[in-house]
């Protein structure tokens, strides 16, 4: 959604490493998560095979070098969209997101705003799907 604002190759690669780490956090990648990963690659104009498997870096290694506030905000929102995409915000995913919040220095208020916005976006997607599949209901 906002990844097209990221221009740096290093930031793009870091985001894909992060997204894959998060998608695998609960032990498997759901179909929705895989579709999000593919859409992330597409939006950032990354080759399908480029950084397809997450590196062995841990969370702090991936994101601690991110200093640009806008990039931090994009990472947080996009990762929240990813973790809510399969309807199961697992404990492992929550731990990663809360660690991101801490490393990035994101306030509780800002985090809550992001989370509420992401939940509304997901609800609108479901509403839109219902309209498309059964517009008379």
Look up the domain containing 74 and give its range. 8-133
Residue 2 counted as domain residue: no
3-state SS of the chain is CCHHHCCCHHHHHHHHHHHHHHHCCCCCCCHHHHHHHHHHHHHCCCCCCCCCCCCCCCHHHHHCCCCCHHHHHHHHHHHHHHHHCCCCCCHHHHHHHHHHHHHHCCCHHHHHHHHHHHHHHHHHHHHHHHHHHCCCC
pTM recorded for the entire structure: 0.85
Residue 20 counted as domain residue: yes
Residue 43 counted as domain residue: yes
Check which CATH number belongs to the domain holding 101 and give it: 1.10.3680.10
Residue 3 counted as domain residue: no
Q: What is the pLDDT along the chain (137 residues), one digit of tens a residue?
A: 899 999 999 999 999 999 999 988 888 888 888 888 999 999 999 876 544 455 567 899 999 889 999 999 999 999 999 988 877 788 888 999 999 999 999 999 999 999 999 999 988 988 898 999 987 76
Residue 99 counted as domain residue: yes
Number of structural domains found in the chain: 1
């Amino acid at each position: 959604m906002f990844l097209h604002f990221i221009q740096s190759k290093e930031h793009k690669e870091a985001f894909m490493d992060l997204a894959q780490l998060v998608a695998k956090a609960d032990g498997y990648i759901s179909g929705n998560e895989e579709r999000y990963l593919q859409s992330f690659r597409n939006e950032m104009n990354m080759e399908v095979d480029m950084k397809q498997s997450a590196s062995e870096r841990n969370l702090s290694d991936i994101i601690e070098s991110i200093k640009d506030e806008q990039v931090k905000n994009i990472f947080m929102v996009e990762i929240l969209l990813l973790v809510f995409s399969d309807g199961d915000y697992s404990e492992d995913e929550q731990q990663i997101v809360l660690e991101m919040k801490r490393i990035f220095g994101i306030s509780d208020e800002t985090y809550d705003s992001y989370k509420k916005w992401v939940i509304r976006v997901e609800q609108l997607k479901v509403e839109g799907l219902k309209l498309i599949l059964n517009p008379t209901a």
